[in-house]
Amino acid sequence: MANPLRNKGIPIKVVERKLGRERAWGQSWQGEGLVEIDPRQNAKEYLGTCIHETLHELLPNHSEKFIEKAEFTLLRVLWKLGYRKVILK
């Protein structure tokens, strides 16, 4: 079975920005390849938000319910494998 994302080469830029005015932890600028993540989250929430907004970029025609289920599944797997945000100084 062919991987539908393999050859699309979708570049996605992730930017950290406080999103208090937007009342959101993250947002996807669909079609622009831009995801904004509020850095004021704990590590697990941050990872979940990044997954969620990236899924919106990759799968713009899917429902919010589908995106949330996919986010939860991916977050659980990646967290169990030990993926965490590392802050370099």
Q: For residue range 4-15, what is the model confidence (pLDDT) as tens digits?
A: 555 566 789 999
Kindly report the backbone phi and psi dihedral angles of residue 7, in degrees, each rounded to the nearest multiple of 5, phi listed first: -105, 10
pLDDT tens, position by position, 17-57 = 999 998 999 999 988 889 999 999 999 999 999 999 999 99
What are the domain boundaries of the chain? Answer: 13-80
Do residues 25 and 45 touch, judged by C-beta distance below 8 A?
yes
